Amino acid sequence: MIIRYFILALVCLTLAEDEFSPGETATSPNEMKAALPVRYLLFEVNYGEGFNLRRDVYIRMANMVKFLNEEGGQQWVLVLPPWGNIYHWQSPIKQTKIPWSRFFDLDSFRRHIPVMELADWMAVVGTPAVIDEIYYLQTYSEGWVDGQWTERRDIRPCNDPSYYKKVDGEVEGHFWGYTKTIKGKSFECLSVQNEIKTFTDFLRDEAKGQSILIDRGETLTHGRYSEWSKEWWLGRRSIRFSKKLMDIGDEFRKKHLESTDEADLTLMDSDWTKQQKALGSALGGPYLAIHLRRKDFLRGSRKEVPSLSFAAEQIEKLLVEKSLSKVFIATDAPESEFQVLTQSLGEYQVYRYVPTSEQLNEIGDGGVAIVDQWIAAHARYFAGTSVSTFSFRIHEERSLLGFPPDSTYNRLCGEKEDPADCAKEQPGRWFPKYD
Ligand code: GFB
C-alpha cells in the first residue's frame, strides 16, 4: 500500500535532558494519511541484547506497523528508541541517547513504514511526554500447554520485578534516560505467545491509547513472516546504513583494499525498492574478510569458536585457496589479540578498521561495527563466526549486494569441533525475496 504523506509540523522543544534535537534527525516529512488519527508504537528490547539482534527486533516492529496500516482504520508510526547502554559498547566515550539517524538512513526506512525518532515523538506529544499504555511482554509462568507453543496472550502478574513503578498514579521507568520528561499512564505485564501478525489485533483493538510501549519486543516472533518471506526482506532491505558510515567504509576499501564498487560490481541503487541484485552478480574486492567474534564468545567454552592460532591457520588456507594476499578482519578482539593474529599471518597483509579519536567520538562503537560490516560485506569471500548475529547481518548485506552464496555463508571452525560437524553446520542460507 502506498501511504500518502503530509509533513508533521514539529515543534523544536528544548528539553533539559535532551542530547539531540528533532532537527538533527530530520524526521519530517513523516508520511501519514491526513484523515486518520495517528497512533505511536514505541518499543524496547531486553537489556542485555546486542546491536544486531536489536536490528532484527526492529524488523518485527516495523512489519507489525506495516500490517496495522494495511489493515486500515488506524495509522501507526513506529517511534525509534535511542541507542545506548549497550553492554558491548565499551569505548570510554558517552554512548547514550543516540538517534537512529547516526547509524541508519531513515529516508530508506520511510520507504517501508512511517518512523520517527523518540525526540521527535516527544516534541509532538508535549512535555512531559506521556506513554498511554506500557506492556511488558513475558512468557507464561506455567510454560507451554501440553508441550505445545500455541498463540495466546493474557494480562498476568509480572513474573519478575519490573523496572516500571507506579508512583502517585504515574508510571516511572528508565525510558532511555528520559526519566523526568517521559511518563507512563498505565503499565501491565502481558504473558504472550504471538507472532507479529497476530499481535496486531491487540494493538489495534485492545490497546486503546495513542502511544503504546511494548517492552521486551523480542518476545514476539516473526512467525509466518520470517526470513523466507518477502515481508521480512522488505523490512531488512529498508535498513540502509547512514551515508557517512558507508563513505568511511568505502574510503577504507579504496585506500587499503583496492576495492571500488565499479570494479567489484557492487554498485547500489540509492532507492532500495529498486535494487534487485541477482545472486552471483557481485565480484567483490580482492580481499578476504573474516568476522572473528571474541570477548563474550570466549566464555562458556563454545567449541565452535577457534583459538587465535587456529583462526590464523584457517585464514591462511582460505587466502591460498582464493589466491588473495589481503585479509580484512572485523573483530571485537582487543588490539593485543589482533597483533597475535597479524603476526601469525606474517606474509599476508592484514587490515583492521581503527577509527581516529574524532571519528570514534562521532560514530561511536555502533558506527565502528557498521563500518566493519560494510567493509566485510564487500569482500570477494567472507567467513564469519558461528551463531553470531553480527555475522548474520553481513550475510544478508552480501546477498543484497548480489554475492554468490558460496562466497558468503561460511564460518570459521573451532579446533574442538569435528570438521565434519563444522562443514554440516555452516550458516543457514536465507536469500532475498523480491516479489
Ligand atoms: O551485535 P551482537 O548482538 O552480535 O553483539 P552477536 C556483538 C557486539 O559486539 C556488536 C561488538 O554489536 C559490536 O558492538 N562486535 C562484535 C564487534 N563483533 C564485532 C566486530 O567485528 N567489529 C566491531 N567493531 N564490533 C550476541 C550478544 O552477540 O551473542 C549477546 O549480543 C549474546 O549478548 C549472544 O552474548 C550469544 O550475536 O555476536
In order of their start, the domains of the chain are: 29-237 (3.40.50.11340), 243-423 (3.40.50.11350)
**Grid cell listed for 402:** 548480489
Answer yes or no: is the C-beta of 332 below 6 A from any ligand 1 atom. Answer: yes
Ligand 1: does its nearest atom lie under 6 Å from the Cβ of 143? no
Between CA 86 and CA 78 the distance in angstroms is 21
Q: Is 331 in the pocket of ligand 1 (CB under 6 A)?
A: yes
Atom of ligand 1 nearest to the CA of 365: 14
> Confidence band (pLDDT; 50, 70, 90) for 2?
very low
Distance of CA 24 to the CA centre of its chain: 21
| Å from CA of 189 to ligand 1 middle | 29
Whether residue 49 lies in the annotated active site: yes
Task: State pLDDT tens for residues 193-206.
Answer: 999 999 999 999 99
Is residue 286 within 8 Å of 266, Cβ to Cβ?
Answer: no
- Element at 214 (helix H, strand E): strand 211-215
From the centroid of its chain, how far is CA 117? 15
Of 161 and 251, the one with more pLDDT: 251
E-assigned strands of 81-200? Answer: 115-117, 129-138, 152-156, 165-167, 170-172, 182-193
399: CA distance to ligand 1 center in Å? Answer: 20
pLDDT at 15: 29
Q: Given its phi and psi angles, is residue 244 left (phi above 0), alpha (psi -120 to 50 degrees) or beta?
A: alpha
Tell me which of 24, 49, 172, 218 is the catalytic residue: 49
**∠ Cα 2 210 25 (to 5°):** 60
Residues 27, 101: Cα–Cα separation, whole Å = 9
Cα separation, 186 vs 163, in Å, equals 14
Nearest CA to ligand 1 atom 21: 331
> What would the grid cell of residue 311 be?
583462526
CA distance 341 to 412: 14
pLDDT tens for each residue of 163-174: 899 899 999 999
**Is pLDDT of 10 > 60?**
no
- 294 CA distance to ligand 1 middle (Å): 9
Average pLDDT over residues 410-420: 95
Q: Which residue, judged by its Cα, is nearest atom 5 of ligand 1?
A: 50
Examine the pLDDT at 286 and tell me if it is beyond 60: yes
Amino acid (one-letter) located at 274: K
Atom of ligand 1 nearest to the CA of 390: 4
56 lines ligand 1 (CB under 6 A): no
CA 347 centroid distance within chain: 36
pLDDT surpassing 50 at residue 21: no
* pLDDT above 90: residue 41: yes
What is the mean predicted confidence (pLDDT) over 290-317?
94
β partners of residue 289: 328, 382
Per-residue pLDDT tens over the stretch 257-281: 999 999 999 999 999 999 999 999 9
Residue type, 78: L
Query: Does residue 88's CB lie within 6 angstroms of at least one atom of ligand 1?
Result: yes
Residue 34: pLDDT band (50, 70, 90) is: low
Q: What is the full DSSP assignment across 234-273?
A: HHHHT-PBPHHHHHHHHHHHHHHH---HHHHT----SSGG
Atom 24, ligand 1: residue with shortest CA distance: 369
Query: Looking at residue 19, what is its pLDDT?
Result: 38
For residue 387, the ligand 1 atom closest to its alpha carbon is 37
Summarised one tens digit per residue, pLDDT across range 99-130 is 999 999 999 999 999 999 999 999 999 989 99
Contact 102, 363 (CB under 8 A): yes
| Confidence at 35, pLDDT banded by 50, 70, 90 | low
* Residue 369 CB–ligand 1 contact under 6 Å: yes
Ligand 1 atom closest to Cα of 291?
A: 21
- Mean pLDDT across the chain: 91
pLDDT of 294 strictly over 50: yes
Q: Is 55 in the pocket of ligand 1 (CB under 6 A)?
A: no
264 within ligand 1 shell (Cβ under 6 A): no
- Bigger pLDDT: 216 or 299? 216
Give yes or no for residue 360 CB within 6 A of ligand 1.
no
Position in ligand 1 atom list of the atom nearest CA 296: 35
pLDDT tens digit sequence for 64-103: 999 999 998 999 999 999 999 899 999 999 999 999 999 9
> 11-39 b/e with 16+ CB inside 10 Å = b?
eebebeebebbbeebebbebbbbeeeebb
Span 329-340, average pLDDT: 98
pLDDT value of residue 92 = 95
In testing the pocket of ligand 1, which one of 293, 371, 395 has its CB within 8 Å of the most ligand atoms? 293
> Is residue 192 scored above 90 in pLDDT?
yes
Mean pLDDT of 207-214: 97
How far apart CA 161 and CA 287 sit, in angstroms, is 50
Q: What is the mean pLDDT of residues 39-62?
A: 96
